[in-house]
Amino acid sequence: MTNFPPDLIQLLTKATHVVALTGAGVSQESGLRTFRDAQSGLWAQYRPEDLATPRAFARDPKLVWNWYAHRRKVAKSSHPNAGHYALVEMERNIPEFTLITQNVDGLHHVAGSKHILELHGNILNVRCSQCGTFADDWHEEAGNVPRCAKCNGLLRPDVVWFEESLPREQLEAAVQAACTCQVFFSIGTSGLVQPAASLAHAARTEGAVVVEVNAEPTPLTPRVDFAFHGKSGEILPELVKAVWG
Ligand code: APR
The helix (run of H) or strand (run of E) holding residue 199 is helix 199-205
Residue closest by Cα to atom 1 of ligand 1: 231
pLDDT tens per residue, range 150-193? 999 999 999 999 999 999 999 999 999 999 999 999 999 998 88
Question: In CATH, what number is assigned to the domain containing residue 199?
Answer: 3.40.50.1220
The answer on pLDDT for 28 being more than 90 is yes
What's the gap in Å between 21 CA and the centre of ligand 1?
Answer: 11
Closest CA to 73 of 126, 123, 118: 123
**Cα of 238 vs its chain's centroid, Å:** 21
pLDDT tens per residue, range 111-132? 999 999 999 999 999 999 999 9
| pTM: predicted TM-score of the whole model, two decimal places | 0.95
Residues 24 and 97 reside in one and the same domain: yes
User: Does the annotation mark 120 as catalytic?
Assistant: yes
Residues 88 and 4 reside in one and the same domain: yes
Ligand 1 atom closest to the CA of 102, numbered from 1: 34
For residue 228, CA distances in Å to 53, 211, 240 come to 33, 8, 14
Residues 39 and 85 reside in one and the same domain: no
Domain that holds residue 151: 33-77+122-159
Residues 45 and 73 reside in one and the same domain: yes
Residues 41 and 149 reside in one and the same domain: yes
Domain count, the chain: 2
Residue closest by Cα to atom 29 of ligand 1: 193
Question: In CATH, what number is assigned to the domain containing residue 60?
Answer: 3.30.1600.10
DSSP code at position 206: T
